[in-house]
A and B are shown apart, each in its own frame.
Chain A
Amino acid sequence: MEDMTNKDVRESYTEHRLCYYDGNSRCVLVKDEETPFPEGKLIVSRTDLRGIITHCNQAFVEMSGYTEAELIGQPHYILRHPDMPKAIFKDAWETVARGEKWHGYVKNLCKDGRYYWVYATIILNVRAGNAVSCTSVRRKPSRTQVDACIAYYAQLKQAEV
């Protein structure tokens, strides 16, 4: 996956290098600017079992800032924000792999360096008894819960160092 560049992200931003579970890494440019969640909508995507995006709805495309063509075939971590602790995603993958539903609050990174908070639910898609993919649905989160997560995630991030 390509590094983010100042072609897409205008000043001012901070630069971070993120290392992902599969050994890849990427430079991301982050702005301290929140994009509000679209009222009444759901952000929906599907990935294969390796986390590669195979489907996303219009709300997903609009919020992420990428085109659909730029998203399909990319790892879902294209949206990873550096403020998100690795432990949250580890818990999500392990929960879903057990066949259980995962819920949690996630801060996502847009193509233009801004961010948006979601309440996400991920489930395993089972067809004829076999796990074939994952569906992820994000909805507008409670601000109270987001504020609690900001503090909690900061603690988790500190523990990672």
Chain B
Amino acid sequence: MQPYVMTVSPDFPPAQIAGWYIFNTWLQRQLGVPIHVSLFDDFASQRAVIQNDGIDLIYANPFDAAMLVREKGFTAIATPLHKSDEAIIAVAVDSPVQRIEDLTPGIRIAATDDPDVNLIAMIMLEPADLSAQNVQTHTVDTYVLVAKRLLQGQADVGFFLRDAFQTLSGMIQRQLRELIRSEIHVIRHVLLASPRLQEQHQQLRRLLPAMNTDLKGQGVLASMGLQGWEIQEQEDTEFMIDLMDTLVN
């Protein structure tokens, strides 16, 4: 039997790579089907495989969830408990910028290629009359590199995933200042299953919410940096997609 393929949105923290492999081992035992983990360094290469129907289970960022549900027929299974996708815009601690409205056209932005964070952060720049057309964005591979560009004076502001910002070392965080953070709450990563996994959908919906009720499950969750799963109804996902749609110009 050809194994199913599971992947994770490339914006997950590198420290949790091992956790997703542990989760996969747990999942295979519970479902009794072979699943292979395939991780990607960037969004573009992951999307290419998705387009070729090469993914069956994906922990997707909300931006990709829209495409996976609407175009590829994926079904929402669960979302992580108490964990929404929020963005932080930060500056160097000694920056003269005190509020978003102090920023002016031409500013230099350091960002990763995380589509959710970039979307939310650009929305938070709108009150300063800033848009993709009048800023300079430099894309780097990791949030540590975003911080580095700020500290070296190569960028005026940096875009961070909240969780990534909070895992920067204390030394780096002390040299940065948070200008604004989003509080949107409803934009969340979601575990989606392909139509090919249809037979396992119900079982997944039964297994995942119960995962944090036993010691072994709790250990697996901790290795992924999650507290647990809650069921995501299809309509909840549709609502999130509608909301994302309002944010994309």
| A125:B126 contact, CB within 8 angstroms | no
Comparing A4-12, A14-22, A72-80, A136-144, the segment that makes contact with chain B is A136-144
> B69 to nearest A CB, angstroms?
12
Mask: chain B, 161-195; 1 = CB below 8 Å from A; 0 = not:
00000000000000000001111111000000000
> B132 to nearest A CB, angstroms?
15
Mask: chain A, 100-138; 1 = CB below 8 Å from B; 0 = not:
010100000000000000010111010100000001110
A23 beta carbon closer than 8 Å to chain B? no
Q: How far is B119's CA from A121's CA once the two chains are assembled, in angstroms?
A: 15
Number of residues on chain B facing chain A (CB within 8 A): 23
Q: How far is B100's CA from A40's CA once the two chains are assembled, in angstroms?
A: 11
Q: How far is B246's CA from A101's CA once the two chains are assembled, in angstroms?
A: 7
Q: Given A40-B183, A41-B183, do A139 and B126 touch, yes or no (CB 8 Å)?
A: yes
Interface size class of A (residues with CB under 8 A): 20 to 34
Find chain A residues with CB under 8 A from B243 CB. Answer: 42, 44, 135, 137
B40 beta carbon closer than 8 Å to chain A? no
Q: How far is B244's CA from A101's CA once the two chains are assembled, in angstroms?
A: 12
Q: Which of B232-247 contact A (CB under 8 A)?
A: 238-239, 242-243, 245-247
Q: How far is B235's CA from A125's CA once the two chains are assembled, in angstroms?
A: 11
Q: Given A125-B242, A127-B238, A135-B239, do A40 and B127 touch, yes or no (CB 8 Å)?
A: no
> B117 to nearest A CB, angstroms?
13
Find chain B residues with CB under 8 A from A57 CB. Answer: 185-186
Contact of B128 among A39, A121, A122, A142 (CB under 8 A): A142
Contact of A143 among B101, B124, B238, B246 (CB under 8 A): B101
| Chain B interface SS verdict (over half) | helix
Q: How far is B86's CA from A41's CA once the two chains are assembled, in angstroms?
A: 10
Q: How far is B239's CA from A42's CA once the two chains are assembled, in angstroms?
A: 14
Q: Which of B181-223 contact A (CB under 8 A)?
A: 181-186
| B127:A141 contact, CB within 8 angstroms | yes
Number of A-B contacts (CB under 8 A): 57
Contact of B246 among A127, A135, A140, A142 (CB under 8 A): A135
Find chain A residues with CB under 8 A from B185 CB. Answer: 57
Contact of A122 among B181, B246, B249 (CB under 8 A): B246
Find chain B residues with CB under 8 A from A40 CB. Answer: 124, 180-184
| A137:B126 contact, CB within 8 angstroms | no
| B238:A125 contact, CB within 8 angstroms | yes
Q: Which of B4-30 contact A (CB under 8 A)?
A: none
Q: How far is B180's CA from A66's CA once the two chains are assembled, in angstroms?
A: 27
Q: How far is B160's CA from A66's CA once the two chains are assembled, in angstroms?
A: 34
Find chain B residues with CB under 8 A from A144 CB. Answer: 129
| B242:A143 contact, CB within 8 angstroms | no
Q: How far is B104's CA from A142's CA once the two chains are assembled, in angstroms?
A: 12
| A140:B127 contact, CB within 8 angstroms | yes
Find chain A residues with CB under 8 A from B127 CB. Answer: 140-143
The 10 closest A-B pairs by CB, nearest first: A121-B246, A137-B246, A135-B242, A40-B182, A140-B127, A142-B129, A40-B183, A41-B183, A125-B242, A42-B184
Which residues in B have some Cβ–Cβ distance to A below 8 Å?
100-101, 123-124, 126-129, 180-186, 238-239, 242-243, 245-247, 249
Pull 11 A–B residue pairs with CB atoms less than 8 Å apart, ordered by A. Answer: A40-B124, A121-B246, A123-B246, A125-B242, A139-B123, A139-B126, A140-B127, A141-B127, A142-B126, A142-B128, A143-B101
